[in-house]
A = this chain, B = another copy of it.
Amino acid sequence: MKVGFIGLGNMGLPMAASLAAAGHELTVWNRTESKAAPLKEKGARVARSPAEAARGAEVVFSMLADDAAVTSAVFGQDGLLAGLAPGAVHVSSSTLSVALSERLAEAHASAGQRYLSAPVFGRPAAAASKQLWVVAAGPKQDVDRCRPLLEALGRGLTVLGDSAPAANVVKLSGNFLIASMMEALAESFALTRKSGIEPKVFLEVFQSVFARSPIFEGYAQLIAEEKYSPAGFKMRLGLKDVELVLGAARTAEVPMPLASLVKDQFLGGVAQGHGDWDWSALGALVAERAGLKQGG
């Protein structure tokens, strides 16, 4: 296929290289043109503007730093919007706001163009070794058309449905899960360090017990299926354990705001009469506060 690629940063460059390696004909654009050199050597054409990169392409990827960079590359002078042919597809892989993704969907539709959102999970090294995971959303026919390209980027693909911004919500939620785990780890390492345990030893426990284990997956499944009863581990016991964590943190003088947050969530669940539900019923408490009906 004739493919345009806009944005050759740490992520974009290896992604474009994967497409080239899969045999597609590439025209690339980057604000700093010199970054395109490695692709030029492999036969890619280097465009002077996003519009030029889009001209004649069936599909154009964009992989840029943030909303501002995408807004400029798409809506600016000689932007993607001006160059993309009717019926051609813009595949946006950047981590964008949902609002900008909605605006892109509307703008491309108005111009008779197609739009997919397809952000990726993985760091530069994963991009280079085709280990990215792609989450794509948009009209089925466009996803099908781009599937060979999306599959050339990484080790797998999840298709989320018709509405392109959904993929942005999922990508953002994934980054939120990482940030949350880091806060949890930060508090755990602070507690264990102040309690006299070597960080490398706690790391070893984390690696042995949690990493690559099905623990988190199992809880994700309970929440996805809203299957909180019968309990594998009751919420009142979860509350007790988090209180013991806070007790140890008090003794060691370690503030643990995430532990306090979880404690108050469990305490609310117990106060509302759900102490015998599984502790994963945090899922139900949070959903209720968001105005969601159970199972709805």
Contact = CB atoms under 8 A, between A and B. Distances in A.
Interface of A: 66, 95-99, 121, 123, 133, 135, 156, 158, 160-161, 163, 165-166, 168-170, 172-217, 219-221, 223-226, 232-233, 238, 240-245, 247-268, 270-273, 279-280, 282-283, 285-292
A268 B206 CA distance: 25
Given A98-B251, A187-B286, A285-B186, A245 B172 contact: yes
Nearest to A174: B209
Given A161-B197, A183-B261, A251-B98, A241 B175 contact: yes
Nearest to A193: B292
B258 A260 contact: no
A259 B205 CA distance: 26
Nearest to A285: B186
A254 B250 CA distance: 20
Contacts of A195: 98, 165-166, 169
29 contacts: A121-B209, A123-B232, A123-B233, A133-B209, A158-B204, A160-B197, A161-B196, A161-B198, A170-B205, A174-B210, A175-B241, A177-B188, A180-B180, A185-B219, A185-B223, A185-B283, A186-B286, A187-B286, A190-B289, A199-B225, A203-B221, A203-B224, A210-B216, A249-B267, A255-B290, A257-B260, A260-B263, A260-B264, A273-B291
Nearest to A233: B123
Closest 9 pairs between A and B when the two form their complex, measured CB to CB: A180-B184, A211-B217, A260-B260, A271-B291, A253-B271, A203-B224, A186-B286, A199-B224, A255-B264
Copies in the assembly, this chain: 4
A199 B212 CA distance: 22
B176 A286 contact: no
B191 A184 contact: no
Nearest to A254: B290
A199 B220 CA distance: 10
B178 A219 contact: yes
Contacts of A121: 209
